[in-house]
Amino acid sequence: DYLRDELPALIQTQFNVSDRCAISGHSMGGHGALIMALKNPGKYTSVSAFAPIVNPSRVPWGIKALTAYLGEDESAWTEWDSCELMLASQPQDAIPVLIDQGDSDQFLADQLQPAVLAEAARQTAWPMTLRIQPGYDHSYYFIASFIEDHLRFHARYLRDEREASPT
């Protein structure tokens, strides 16, 4: 897998970087970030997303995509659904999660539904922060407004464990 294996290995060989990783994304990329973190326990220190698709096996966009790529067998879809993966995860696999969602996002109610993932996190004791941002939609300006928060969030967990403060 290019994003999971090849790209990090390439970065390691070309730059003087730590082997600690975090992952983030927006919308479908947010879905990808969550899936990567959930399917690869221990690889990432934290995960964040802007307006991610979190429960694709239950929303129109996801059902259409999962059917096209994986067929009609809904049991095959669960390994690509963040909510299902989180509910099936082990307690020791939990990492900090930050999700920002605009309350004016036209896709919020029918496609994104971050509260469903927040409930899965609550049930499995994953440390998740879901922030609903008033007046923001699904656009670049939404991301630009909060990207610094996400970078600081990841920086907190990317620091070497010996250097990280308890706060």
Catalytic residues: 27, 105, 138
| Alpha-carbon distance values, 161 to 16, 76, 127, 166 (Å) | 18, 37, 18, 10
Across the strands, what pairs with 140?
none
The two three-digit tokens of residue 46, written as one number: 């934290």
| Alpha-carbon distance values, 123 to 34, 45, 83, 130 (Å) | 17, 21, 11, 15
